[in-house]
């Protein structure tokens, strides 16, 4: 639940946002027509996208490409607030920023692996502090200033060894990349994502996703994923001392009681009974 929301508009669209949200929360962040830089001032968050299953800590940031993403707030304290600052990177704005320059050094694709997570960095922290100043003095903000702040962010990322990330992001703003269903499933089999959310990560309708899934795996999404989760749970019950609840969360169930019911239905024993039987 959003507790506080401030933002600045550039022409007709929101370009910079500051949000405070109450945990726990799973937030669906869909950026089909733009990239996005998100700075987390505090907390512990997991990014789930078509290519990433990444944990983000306080004073770290992520650089997202176009597509569907889910942010799962990991705090267990319901009274805790997560504070973020979001900068949207629209293609129109990028073109405006570089209209009198040659952006090939940025747009050119490299063979280096893209780093989506921006580690805690003094330069980025000071940049965020400068935005805080404008949130406290909003009358100073105009389109020219917002253009300068976005350009400053891109230049800082380039100078702090994230040039490959910027190159990849901007390249993807001008091109469409095919998403492979099997790679999304391999990445998120044990994530707490619904079938509908997995379909969104693949940029498919629910019906198209189910059809493509059955063609590839010869099984329904629910049955296949639950089978994989139960198999992993069986392994953890045998080789670890994790509690039943921890194993449920580890295998992608957000409800330990549902996990126990499903496990017993599939295996014929409760998780506790299975562990005792296999270890005695």
**Domains of the chain: total:** 2
Residue 45 to residue 274: CA distance in whole angstroms: 33
- Last residue in a domain, options 173, 203, 229: 173
- Last residue in a domain, options 173, 199, 222: 173
pLDDT at 73: 66
Q: Are 65 and 114 in contact (CB under 8 A)?
A: no
- Do residue 21 and residue 134 come from a single domain? yes
How does residue 113 score in pLDDT terms, banded at 50, 70 and 90? very low
How does residue 140 score in pLDDT terms, banded at 50, 70 and 90? very high
Average pLDDT of the segment spanning 69-84:
67
Q: Which residue has the higher pLDDT, 221 or 49?
A: 221
Q: Give residue-wise pLDDT tens across range 209-254.
A: 999 999 899 999 999 999 999 999 999 999 998 999 999 999 989 8
Residue 70 to residue 50: CA distance in whole angstroms: 10
pLDDT at 172: 63
Residue 147 to residue 98: CA distance in whole angstroms: 10
Q: Average pLDDT, whole number, for the chain?
A: 81
Q: Which of 43, 52, 35 is nearest to 19 (CA)?
A: 43
Task: CATH number of the domain at 251, please.
Answer: 1.10.10.60
Q: Give residue-wise pLDDT tens across range 155-166.
A: 888 777 776 777
- Do residue 168 and residue 111 come from a single domain? yes
pLDDT at 127: 94
How does residue 203 score in pLDDT terms, banded at 50, 70 and 90? confident
pLDDT at 2: 57
Is pTM beyond 0.85? Reply is: no
Q: Which domain holds residue 149?
A: 2-173
- Do residue 190 and residue 140 come from a single domain? no
How does residue 67 score in pLDDT terms, banded at 50, 70 and 90? low
pLDDT at 110: 46
């Amino acid at each position: 639940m959003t507790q506080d929301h401030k933002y600045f508009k550039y022409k007709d669209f929101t370009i910079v946002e500051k949000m405070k949200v109450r945990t726990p929360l799973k937030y669906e962040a869909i950026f089909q027509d733009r990239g996005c830089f998100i700075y987390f001032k505090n907390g512990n968050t997991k990014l789930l996208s078509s290519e990433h299953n990444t944990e983000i800590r306080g004073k770290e940031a992520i650089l997202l490409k176009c597509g569907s993403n889910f942010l799962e707030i990991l705090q267990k304290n319901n009274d805790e607030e997560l504070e973020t600052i979001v900068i949207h990177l629209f293609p129109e704005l990028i073109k405006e920023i570089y209209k009198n320059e040659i952006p090939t050094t940025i747009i050119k694709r490299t063979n280096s692996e893209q780093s989506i997570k921006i580690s805690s960095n003094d330069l980025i922290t000071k940049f965020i502090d400068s935005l805080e100043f404008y949130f406290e003095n909003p009358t100073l903000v105009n389109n020219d200033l917002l253009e300068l702040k976005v350009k400053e962010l891109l230049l800082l990322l380039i100078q702090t060894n994230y040039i490959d990330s910027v190159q990849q992001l901007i390249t993807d703003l001008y091109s469409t990349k095919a998403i492979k269903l099997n790679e999304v499933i391999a990445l998120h089999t044990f994530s707490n994502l619904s079938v509908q959310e997995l379909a969104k990560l693949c940029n498919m309708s629910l019906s198209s996703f189910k059809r493509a899934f059955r063609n590839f795996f010869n099984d329904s999404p629910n049955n296949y994923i639950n089978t994989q989760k139960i198999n992993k749970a069986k392994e953890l019950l045998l080789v670890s001392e994790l509690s039943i609840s921890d194993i449920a969360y580890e295998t992608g169930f957000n409800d330990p009681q549902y996990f126990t019911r499903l496990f017993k239905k599939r295996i014929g024993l409760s998780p506790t009974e299975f562990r005792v039987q296999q270890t005695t």
